[in-house]
Structure 1
Amino acid sequence: MSKFRKLEFYEQQRPYDLLPFKFDRLNDDEYVITNMAGEYHVIPETLLEPLISKTLPLSSELFPTLRAKHFIRFTTEQAPLQLLALKVRTRLSRLAQFTNLHIFVVTLRCDHSCPYCQVSRQSENTGEFDMTPQMAEKSLDFVFRSPNPAIKIEFQGGEPLLNFEMVKYVVVEAKKRNIKEGRDLQFVIATTLSLLNDEVLAFCKEHNIVLSSSLDGPMDLHNANRPRPGRDSHQRFEEGLEKARAALGFDQVSALMTTTDKSLLRVREIIDEYLRLGFDGIFLRTLSPYGFAIKTKKFMSYDTDRWLEFYKEGLDYIIELNKSGVRFVEQYSSLVLTKMLTSSDPGFVDLMNPAGAGIAAIVFNYDGAVYASDESRMLAEMGDHTFRLGNIIEQSYEEIILSDQLLDALENSFTLSAPMCSDCAFEPYCGAEPVFHHAMHNDMVGRKPESSFCKRNMGIFKHLIGLMESDAHVKRIFMGWANRC
């Protein structure tokens, strides 16, 4: 029988190896380190050099935490390598399922004239901008070629309710096909709710269709951002919301806001409006550089720093609400926190690696054109067809999915090899957004030091980590948000 070794044996320094990690300054005194699986830890500046030089003493309080989070391992250990690899595989497992979201642009017609709209909308009576049954059938052929066990079909426009007959046609035909396919089939209509009526609600209830709408804030702000004839956009939204909740269920209607220059000083009022109308969260969304947002110069009405002030003020208010017992979520933060605090990837297209274009979401335009993402379609409306993958009438599934337009975008959006992304400590939480960078810099990789996408996200990532490090109550709130996705 072997004897216990003397205490001095266990106290002596054992050699350790560094597992792959990156670091960035969090503030004047601390660094944040992250590994390939998205685990992070904040360490004092004075301990970074000893950690990297492998002179961190075993007696350091930091040592067991770094081992548990797979930043270091003892030289002879194999389990940390296997566990780290398992975590990375888990985070990337969604990629094997391929395309889940299929967007049908059933019309470009719209009854609103939003100055920041990302789509080249058409007047209500311009029927040549409607999807035809032939286009819908070909698009459905494509949809059910996806290997994903869950299929979501989202109807967009314009205002899709202006071509509601096509919405009905696609839903009925998709459900017929799904009798054989057996997929988890879901439907969403992206609508302003202004044209909602009993026929629409009855059909949505029968087929379990979810409604996704838009709310920019209190009545005066919403009506200014989303004008329509009669200046009653907000009134119609609120009336439609009440009808939809009564007919379909309270949680079957969601809302999305867009931040304009008029919104910047009113974030608390905007959040209060969401609370007043019974929503349990808000997505504090910035303007995108596409469509009318560019033509009307709305995209340039504020810079990234000003939007981050707006976001941080809104997040502080939401945290106050949660601390007082009101459960309310900032939804973009929730997506980021899911990647920071869990082993899951929520599959949000803008934060996917490689980009979610084509492999997470794909768009079938009213004219048969297929685009890599909703933003790609918006870019095409401006005359740039870089991300047009083909036409549903002219090309097969294989030709579209294996097109150079899609493969080039995916290759350029792989953050582990993209210049500057590969060295960034926040790479595990971010995406590359090739469509955005092409629109802004005429380069799919983009010029990262000038990228508002990078600046905005890095500001958010650092802010969220800083809040969790400084307040344990906030971290508990954020853990709840992360595990809700």
Structure 2
Amino acid sequence: MIHAYKNNGYNIVLDVNSGSVHVVDDVVFDLVNIVEEKLAAKYGTAAVSDGQEEASKEDFGWLFDEVKKLSEITDKYSVEDIKEAVEELLELRAAQVLYTDDVYENYVDEFQNRETVIKALCLNIAHDCNLRCKYCFADEGEYHGRRALMTEEVGKAALDFLVKNSGNRRNLEVDFFGGEPLMNWEVVKKIVEYGRQIEKEHNKNFRFTITTNGTLLNDEILEYVNKEMGNIVLSIDGRKEVHDAMRPKRGGQGSYDEIVPKFQKVAESRHQLRYFVRGTFTHNNLDFSEDVKHLADLGFKQISVEPVVAKPEDWYSLKDEDIPKLCEEYDKLAKFYLERQKEGRGFNFFHFNIDLEGGPCVAKRLSGCGSGCEYLGVTPWGDLYPCHQFVGNEDFIMGNVFEGITRPDIQETFKKSNVYSRPECEKCFARYYCSGGCAANAYNFNGNINTTYKHGCELQRKRIECAIMIKAAMAE
């Protein structure tokens, strides 16, 4: 499977199954899909098959003859250029970095039957919040239920549950989430301290993370976070007018002026590492690349600004007609990103992170975040859900931290969800990068985790194209 596209002056060819990326000239770019079609018509597949490995270039004279029949090619290029391009494509094919077979599909049965362990928990430490963010999927921190703060007892039981169900895995992830976690800060500290007490006994290493709106952040809390937590996520949407419109306090006042100096202090105190400023763009700021630029100008080096996921009837939700504009914004952002890198003022944009050499293991490529089987969400009273975005939907209660998993059928359903269980992924070039997308988004929009979220897919494909282009540009 081939994906060929143009971006920022580069002709890029991605071999989806191998992950190989090629920057090519115009004639190779124009021929790459044609050659794939011709090979597939003759051999049933464009990939190298038995009996073809040793074929000489002369054996493929028929292919050159077929291409020469195409006036749209011969009118643009000389016979010598066409011949050279065909030979180059065949050499890449023989090297098995172009037109490769899908080697993962045969692995999927083994993958589905793998023994899984739980390696991460998202602790909803506070079903309460002191902001009234207009797009909040958590219903102002309540998660469509009652306001509550997690107790020390529940938090400790959650860590015990994680240790018990983590098998031989040593590194365990625990995210403090909300609502606003700092509204339950004393319990956060007690849970962390308990984790440090038990990790050596069980040969585990807890990696704690916290997500905060920053309004309650102070020097004492920051000192503790820097000592005990591997990462901190700081919520800010970008420009003051954008942020304050979507993330006001209970009384309607903006929160931008209060949090920016605090967030800048966090970034510097962590030497511009192990944090993210994380924003959300909506129909209200389709020019979101300006918000990323604004955050970069404030001095932040670790930035993530992501599309809102909302009901179609919500005034701030993304519309079908917004997608072309948003794709243009990603292209603009990619150019800005490269400019800053060349100036020596670069920053890291989360959605442009891509590893073309190593990348995630096969399991991650096929199944993504592991929600519902390797990663679970925990409510303040200890109920277990596939992830924090399912909290409040009682059909997805999997058990609780005291009794363990009582609905293994839910876990099994999520375990078997992957890029091959989603029909829409079959012909999508991005499938091994997004791993099928977010199960919660798929369920919320389609009632089925084995589907895809349309807007999410469209924007993900554009981000991946931009990320690969950036890699090509930076390799020059």
Normalising TM by the smaller chain, what interval? 0.7 to 0.9
Contact in 2 for aligned 1:274/1:281 (Cα 8 Å)? no
Amino acid in the other structure paired with 2:92: T
Structure 2 match to 1:369: 383
1:258 aligns with one of 280, 291, 297: 280
Contact in 1 for aligned 2:276/2:302 (Cα 8 Å)? no
Is the alpha carbon distance of 1:308 and 1:360 closer, same or farther for their aligned partners in structure 2, counting shifts above 3 Å?
Answer: farther
Contact in 2 for aligned 1:39/1:69 (Cα 8 Å)? no
Is the alpha carbon distance of 1:463 and 1:279 closer, same or farther for their aligned partners in structure 2, counting shifts above 3 Å?
Answer: closer
Work out the CA distance in 1 between the residues paired with 2:12 and 2:124: 46
Work out the CA distance in 2 between the residues paired with 1:417 and 1:208: 36
Q: Are 2:74 and 1:66 aligned?
A: no
Alignment of 1:36-115 (within 5 A): 36-40=17-21, 44-52=32-40, 53=42, 58=57, 60-71=87-98, 98-115=117-134
Is the alpha carbon distance of 1:441 and 1:149 closer, same or farther for their aligned partners in structure 2, counting shifts above 3 Å?
Answer: same
State the Cα distance separating 1:285 from its structure 2 match. Answer: 0.7
Work out the CA distance in 1 between the residues paired with 2:271 and 2:186: 23
Is the alpha carbon distance of 1:190 and 1:39 closer, same or farther for their aligned partners in structure 2, counting shifts above 3 Å?
Answer: same
2:295 aligns with one of 256, 266, 274: 274
Is the alpha carbon distance of 1:138 and 1:37 closer, same or farther for their aligned partners in structure 2, counting shifts above 3 Å?
Answer: farther
Alignment of 1:63-212 (within 5 A): 63-71=90-98, 98-121=117-140, 129-144=148-163, 145-147=165-167, 148-208=169-229, 210-212=231-233
Q: Percent identity?
A: 19
Q: Are 2:401 and 1:392 aligned?
A: yes
Work out the CA distance in 1 between the residues paired with 2:458 and 2:275: 32
State the Cα distance separating 1:203 from its structure 2 match. Answer: 2.5
Structure 1 match to 2:457: 454
1:388-446: CA deviations, max 9, x gaps? 322223x324x45xx222222332x3213432423434322232233211111122222
Work out the CA distance in 2 between the residues paired with 1:204 and 1:253: 11
Contact in 2 for aligned 1:23/1:424 (Cα 8 Å)? no
Q: Are 2:472 and 1:475 aligned?
A: yes
Is the alpha carbon distance of 1:346 and 1:217 closer, same or farther for their aligned partners in structure 2, counting shifts above 3 Å?
Answer: farther
Is the alpha carbon distance of 1:31 and 1:242 closer, same or farther for their aligned partners in structure 2, counting shifts above 3 Å?
Answer: closer
Contact in 1 for aligned 2:214/2:263 (Cα 8 Å)? yes
State the Cα distance separating 1:97 from its structure 2 match. Answer: 7.4
Structure 2 match to 1:244: 266
State the Cα distance separating 1:188 from its structure 2 match. Answer: 1.3
TM-score w.r.t. structure 1 length? 0.74
Work out the CA distance in 1 between the residues paired with 2:366 and 2:345: 31
**Helix, strand or coil at the partner of 1:251:** coil
Work out the CA distance in 2 between the residues paired with 1:258 and 1:440: 19
Work out the CA distance in 2 between the residues paired with 1:266 and 1:137: 40
**Helix, strand or coil at the partner of 1:66:** helix
State the Cα distance separating 1:327 from its structure 2 match. Answer: 1.9
Structure 2 match to 1:4: none
Structure 2 match to 1:6: none
Amino acid in the other structure paired with 2:419: T
State the Cα distance separating 1:363 from its structure 2 match. Answer: 1.0
Work out the CA distance in 1 between the residues paired with 2:12 and 2:138: 42
**Helix, strand or coil at the partner of 1:227:** coil
**Helix, strand or coil at the partner of 1:453:** helix
Structure 1 stretches lacking a partner, 5+ long: 1-21, 74-79, 469-473, 481-485
Is the alpha carbon distance of 1:259 and 1:361 closer, same or farther for their aligned partners in structure 2, counting shifts above 3 Å?
Answer: same
Work out the CA distance in 1 between the residues paired with 2:346 and 2:269: 25
State the Cα distance separating 1:266 from its structure 2 match. Answer: 5.0
Contact in 2 for aligned 1:271/1:282 (Cα 8 Å)? yes
State the Cα distance separating 1:32 from its structure 2 match. Answer: 4.9
Work out the CA distance in 2 between the residues paired with 1:69 and 1:279: 41
Is the alpha carbon distance of 1:435 and 1:132 closer, same or farther for their aligned partners in structure 2, counting shifts above 3 Å?
Answer: same
State the Cα distance separating 1:299 from its structure 2 match. Answer: 2.2
Instruction: Name whichever of 174-183 and 60-69 sits farther off.
Output: 60-69
Is the alpha carbon distance of 1:327 and 1:243 closer, same or farther for their aligned partners in structure 2, counting shifts above 3 Å?
Answer: closer
Structure 2 stretches lacking a partner, 5+ long: 23-28, 44-51, 59-86
Work out the CA distance in 2 between the residues paired with 1:312 and 1:354: 25
Structure 2 match to 1:357: 371
Instruction: Name whichever of 96-105 and 130-139 sits farther off.
Output: 96-105
**Helix, strand or coil at the partner of 1:308:** helix
Amino acid in the other structure paired with 2:390: S
**Helix, strand or coil at the partner of 1:257:** strand
Is the alpha carbon distance of 1:112 and 1:128 closer, same or farther for their aligned partners in structure 2, counting shifts above 3 Å?
Answer: closer
Contact in 2 for aligned 1:130/1:366 (Cα 8 Å)? yes
Amino acid in the other structure paired with 1:343: G
Amino acid in the other structure paired with 1:38: G
TM superposition outliers: structure 1 runs of 4+ over 6 Å:
346-349
Structure 1 match to 2:332: 313
Contact in 2 for aligned 1:108/1:120 (Cα 8 Å)? no
Structure 1 match to 2:83: none
Work out the CA distance in 2 between the residues paired with 1:175 and 1:246: 26
**Helix, strand or coil at the partner of 1:195:** coil
Contact in 1 for aligned 2:277/2:302 (Cα 8 Å)? no
Q: Are 2:359 and 1:344 aligned?
A: yes
RMSD: 3.6
**Helix, strand or coil at the partner of 1:221:** helix
Q: Across the two proteins, how many residue pairs are aligned to each other?
A: 414
1:428 aligns with one of 410, 432, 446: 432
State the Cα distance separating 1:133 from its structure 2 match. Answer: 2.2
Is the alpha carbon distance of 1:244 and 1:417 closer, same or farther for their aligned partners in structure 2, counting shifts above 3 Å?
Answer: closer
Structure 2 match to 1:222: 243
Contact in 2 for aligned 1:37/1:428 (Cα 8 Å)? no
2:350 aligns with one of 331, 337, 341: 331
